[in-house]
Amino acid sequence: MKKSVFLGALTVAGLAAGAAAAGTLDDVKARGTLNCGVTTGLVGFAAPDANGVWQGFDVGVCRAVAAAVLGDANAVEFVPTTGKTRFTALASGEIDMLARNTTWTFSRDVDLKFEFIGTNYYDGQGFMVPKALGVSSAKELDGATVCIQTGTTTELNLADFFRKNNISYEPVPIETSAEGQQQYLAGACDTYTTDASGLASLRAAFEKPGDHVILPEIISKEPLGPLVRHGDNEWGDTVRWTLNALIAAEEMGITSANVTEMSAKAGDSPEVNRLLGTEGNLGEMLGLDADWATKAIMAGGNYGEIFEKNIGENTPIGLARGLNAQWTDGGLLYSPPFR
Amino acid sequence: MTVLTDPPKESFRLSMLINDKRYRSLTFQAIALILLIMAISYLASNLMANLAAAGLNISYDFLGDPAGYDINQTLISYNSQSPHLQAAWVGIINTLLVAVLGCVTATILGVFAGVLRLSNNWLVRKLMSGYVEIFRNIPVLIWILIFYGVITVSLPGARIYLGEDPERALTLGMFAFTNRGIYVPAPLWGPGSMIVVGTFIASIVAVFAYRSYAKKLLFDTGRLLPTGWPSLLILVVPTILAFFVMGQPIGLDMPDPLANRFNLRGGIQIGAPLIALWLALSVYTGAFIAENVRAGILAVSKGQTEAAAALGLRPGRIMNLVVLPQALRVIIPPLISQYLNITKNSSLAIAVGYADITATLGGITLNQTGRAIECVLLLMLFYLIISLSISAVMNVYNNAMQLKER
């Protein structure tokens, strides 16, 4: 009798574990909060501010998704993940989505069974060297000691770059960005390499940023984007189109300032109307409210606003839009049409 | 008078499993074992079911794929095209290297500090207490970072040694101390060098043979042969002779300041991460070993020291011949744990970028392949095997040192 109860409990537990794999959208709605994996702290992309509130470019995506699904941009449980724990956390269901400047690669998408839902930052790996070295190209770095932040695609790109150019180097793997900075400034390595955006944010923190140059070579493509688990297409669509809504909003001129006004009644532009839910039933197709995109845009503004507020040229990070400008401005941001 | 009768032969009943003292403990142990096995198998099946649901599987095929990343300090041949398995081997050898180095220096340091802590000299005693208390009460990770930081900040960059007219010349023409590591000359093995090495090994054996012969002679006849200078002669002279007879086959590969604009080339580079990790592990664990040694010495009854002194032995000899051999029996078991600690603490290497097994297999490989469960299982297996091996070897030594009871 007791044994059968125990076995029964086992069966139920097993079934529950199996069922948890699907229906993330329903899970999030039932839970009332979105579990979003972010970095353990990279200023500009995701870091808690002085009040302990998470701020940043990746955080903005999490908040937009929470606003679209739950109607509340603050209904997000931020789960800090390291380069090592991020994929396990997502695969195990501990987090619903991962927005942690993660490079979209074939093996992560296919072999690790994840679904990259788009690119929210086009980055590339670069090198920073002290000006005093007199190096003007990464190809002159033969024999140099290179500090790399470990646990990223940068190590592989670095090995490929030096092998391709048939030059040698000494890697010094570094666990944290702060330690890399210390090593680099003390001259324990000749050059520091990571994503160009990371170099910019690191250099901004130096005492004399002018003494260091970022070499022109960008040796890799690093499309950074949010990702979800493979096999839950409804949830993947929700996150994908929330990101697209932010990008499209910038293209259409919808900002956090005018979104309330524009969504109050149907306007002249049919695509704006469809996006903001005053026309058509796009929200219903996603299983969300009609004003899902309006709420997402209200959360932190459109893509451009989130960019400027967290990593743009007026912030200490000081990144130009570059590749991350709208396609109409010569960048790569291109949202599929909302229809 | 009482009449003794045979107790009635009871047949075994199920209730006896609970009520009978003889069986009760067995029953509970069996129940506990069954529950444990069920719990583990539930967790394992749950893991497999969830992995299957996520479309993942446990597979070690990735070990054969090219690793794709470079490692700075390797003792075996490795490049970015080597498979992940080779990267794991590099890591394993690096772990063993730092563990062995750490165990040796920590033991030497610990024995000295432990003995000196009991010194009659107030200053020495207090200095050693200070060393022990400071080093064992601050986490080892902090020490690793401190040593690394000190090396990075206090030593110059490599460029100071470089170029036609360097700011600083190589020390003795062969050593360079930079914040990237210490450069020393590397031996170049020419033809015939094996004979020189063979001679040297034979000399070491001969030294031991000579010393045991001297000891035997002393015990048998009471004649005292000198051991100091003959040992040195046996050790050095044949090797030097062989070296010149073979035509100086072993050369030195000096660090070259001119070969590259960024770094010294040639020689052996002992990387700063290795030095920092090695020193930190040594002084940290040395402090614990010092306490073990002190405990061991105090465990030897004072009468032994007094008896030895009464026989006219000098204090140094009392320590070496009477106290330490007896203290060893107390020291060795906790010493085993300290060796295990060094080996396991070496996994903190990642903090300073030393490529140990945790940094290669458990760090970069895990990250690049995403095979977290497989990599962590392998890591656990490796540390388990290493720890059990150290334990086994040390236990053999411990048994050899035990009081021989005849």
Residues in chain A closer than 8 A to B355 (CB atoms): 173
pLDDT at residue B192 in the model: 76
What is the rounded average pLDDT of the residues A197-220?
84
Residue A276 confidence class, pLDDT cut points 50, 70, 90:
very high
Q: Tell me which H or E stretch contains B125.
A: helix B122-136
Residue A237 confidence class, pLDDT cut points 50, 70, 90:
very high
Q: Quickly tell me which residue has 């994908």 as its tokens.
A: A240
ipTM: 0.72
DSSP annotation of B185 reads: P
pLDDT at residue B144 in the model: 92
Distance from CA of A188 to the nearest CA of B (A): 5
Identify which has the larger pLDDT, A84 or A89: A89
Q: Does the distance separating the beta carbons of B70 and A159 come in below 8 Å? A: yes
* Selection from A278, A284, A286, A275 nearest residue A247 by Cα: A275
pLDDT at residue B406 in the model: 67
Say if CB B281 and CB B102 are below 8 A apart.
Answer: yes
Residue A151 confidence class, pLDDT cut points 50, 70, 90:
low
pLDDT at residue A11 in the model: 46
Most A-contacting residue of B58, B61, B69 (CB-CB within 10 A), to test interface = B69
Q: Does the distance separating the beta carbons of A189 and B42 come in below 8 Å? A: no
Q: Which residues contact A194 (CB under 8 A, 6 or more apart)?
A: A125, A126, A148, A149, A152, A154, A177, A180, A202
Residues in chain B closer than 8 A to A18 (CB atoms): 49-50, 53
pLDDT at residue A5 in the model: 47
Assess whether pLDDT exceeds 70 at residue A235.
yes
Residue pLDDT, tens place only, B270-292: 888 999 999 999 999 999 999 99
Q: One-letter amino acid identity for A259?
A: V
Q: Does the distance separating the beta carbons of A182 and B149 come in below 8 Å? A: yes
* CA–CA distance, A114 with B370 (Å, rounded to integer): 11
pLDDT at residue B229 in the model: 85
Distance from CA of A229 to the nearest CA of B (A): 8
User: What residues in chain B have per-residue pLDDT under 70?
Assistant: 1-10, 406
Cβ of residue B355 closer than 8 Å to a chain A Cβ: yes
Say if CB A254 and CB A275 are below 8 A apart.
Answer: yes
Residue pLDDT, tens place only, A172-205: 888 777 778 888 988 888 999 988 888 887 887 7
The count of other CB atoms within 10 Å of the CB of residue A145 is 24
Q: In B, residues 80-109, which contact A (CB 8 Å cutoff)?
A: 80-81
Please work out, in degrees rounded to the nearest 5, the angle formed at the alpha carbon of residue B335 by the alpha carbons of B117 and B102. 85
Q: Which residues contact A220 (CB under 8 A, 6 or more apart)?
A: A124, A125, A153, A154, A157, A161
Residue pLDDT, tens place only, A282-309: 999 999 999 999 999 999 999 999 999 9
What would the 3-class secondary structure string for B221-248 be? HCCCCCCHHHHHHHHHHHHHHHHHHCCC
Question: pTM (2 decimals)?
Answer: 0.75
pLDDT at residue B227 in the model: 77
Residue pLDDT, tens place only, B78-102: 888 889 999 999 999 999 999 999 9
Start-to-end CA span in chain A (Å): 59
Q: Does the distance separating the beta carbons of B54 and A230 come in below 8 Å? A: yes
Q: Does the distance separating the beta carbons of A108 and B50 come in below 8 Å? A: no
Residues in chain B closer than 8 A to A156 (CB atoms): 68-69, 368
Which residue in B49, B265, B350 is closest to A18 by CB distance? B49
pLDDT at residue A19 in the model: 43
* CA–CA distance, A135 with B142 (Å, rounded to integer): 35
Cβ of residue B166 closer than 8 Å to a chain A Cβ: no
- Counting one residue from A and one from B, how many pairs have CB atoms under 8 Å apart? 129
Beta bridge partners of B271: B181
Q: Which residues contact B209 (CB under 8 A, 6 or more apart)?
A: none
Contacts for A130-136 with beta carbons within 8 Å, 24 or more apart? A130/A187, A130/A190, A130/A211, A130/A212, A130/A213, A131/A210, A131/A211, A131/A212, A131/A213, A132/A211, A133/A190, A135/A191, A135/A215, A136/A215, A136/A216
Q: Does the distance separating the beta carbons of B46 and A155 come in below 8 Å? A: no
Distance from CA of A186 to the nearest CA of B (A): 6
SS3 state of residue B316: helix
Cβ of residue B372 closer than 8 Å to a chain A Cβ: yes
Residues in chain A closer than 8 A to B364 (CB atoms): 150-151, 155, 173
Which residue in A21, A91, A190 is closest to B262 by CB distance? A190
Q: Does the distance separating the beta carbons of B46 and A17 come in below 8 Å? A: yes
